[in-house]
Amino acid sequence: MAMTFTKRTLGTAAGGLALALLLAWWAWPSPRVVETAVVGRGPVQVTIEEDGETRAVDRYGIASPVTGRLLRVTLREGDLVKPGQLVAEIAPTPLSAADRDLLGARLESAKALEAEAFERVRRADADAAQAVREKKRVADLVAGRFMSPQALEQAESAVSMKAADVAAARARAVSAAADVRAAQAALASVRANAPAVRVDSPVAGRVLRIAEKSERVVTPGTVLVTVGDPSALEVAVDVLSNDAVRVKPGMRMLLTGWGGDEIEARVRTVEPAAFRKVSALGVEEQRVWVVADFEAVPPGLGDAYRVDARIVVAEKADALRVPAGALFRRDGKWHAFTVEGGRLALRVVEAGLRGSRDVEIVSGLAEGARVVLYPGNDLSEGARVAPRR
Do 107 and 156 fall within a single domain? yes
Q: Which domain holds residue 250?
A: 47-54+231-315
Residues 281-291 pLDDT 10s:
889 999 999 99
Do 63 and 127 fall within a single domain? yes
Residue 26 inside a domain? The answer is no
Nearest-angstrom CA–CA distance, 351 and 348: 10
Residues 344-365 pLDDT 10s:
999 999 999 998 899 999 999 9
Residue type, 102: L
Counting residues of the chain whose pLDDT is more than 90, the rounded percentage is 42
Nearest-angstrom CA–CA distance, 40 and 367: 5
The helix/strand count (H/E) of the chain reads as 4, 23
Do 69 and 172 fall within a single domain? yes
Q: In what helix (H) or strand (E) does residue 218 lie, and over which residues does it extend? A: strand 216-218
Nearest-angstrom CA–CA distance, 352 and 272: 30
Residues 169-228 pLDDT 10s:
888 888 888 888 888 877 776 665 557 888 999 888 889 989 888 888 898 889 999 998
Residue 20 inside a domain? The answer is no
From 315, 332, 366, the end of a domain falls on 315
Residue 3 has pLDDT above 70, yes or no: no
Residue 10, pLDDT score: 61
CATH number at residue 287: 2.40.30.170
Do 211 and 128 fall within a single domain? yes
Q: How many residues does the chain have?
A: 389
Residues 85-141 pLDDT 10s:
999 998 877 666 777 778 888 888 888 988 998 998 899 899 989 989 988 888 888
Residue 313 has pLDDT above 90, yes or no: yes
Do 64 and 81 fall within a single domain? yes
Nearest-angstrom CA–CA distance, 47 and 252: 10
From 281, 315, 349, the end of a domain falls on 315
Residue 383 inside a domain? The answer is yes
Do 311 and 383 fall within a single domain? no
Provide the domain count of the chain: 3
Nearest-angstrom CA–CA distance, 108 and 116: 12
Total-model pTM:
0.61
Counting residues of the chain whose pLDDT is more than 70, the rounded percentage is 90
Residue 1, pLDDT score: 46
Residue type, 254: L
Inter-CA distances, 246 with 8, 13, 26, 217, Å: 83, 75, 57, 48
Residue 303 inside a domain? The answer is yes
CATH number at residue 169: 2.40.50.100
Residue 178, pLDDT score: 86
Identify the CA nearest to 159 among candidates 234, 271, 244, 249. Answer: 249
Q: Which residues lie across from 309 on neighbouring strands?
A: 50, 255
**52-66, 186-200, 251-265: lowest mean pLDDT where?**
186-200
Name the DSSP letter for residue 297. P
From 258, 291, 315, the end of a domain falls on 315
Do 205 and 149 fall within a single domain? yes
Residue 197 inside a domain? The answer is yes
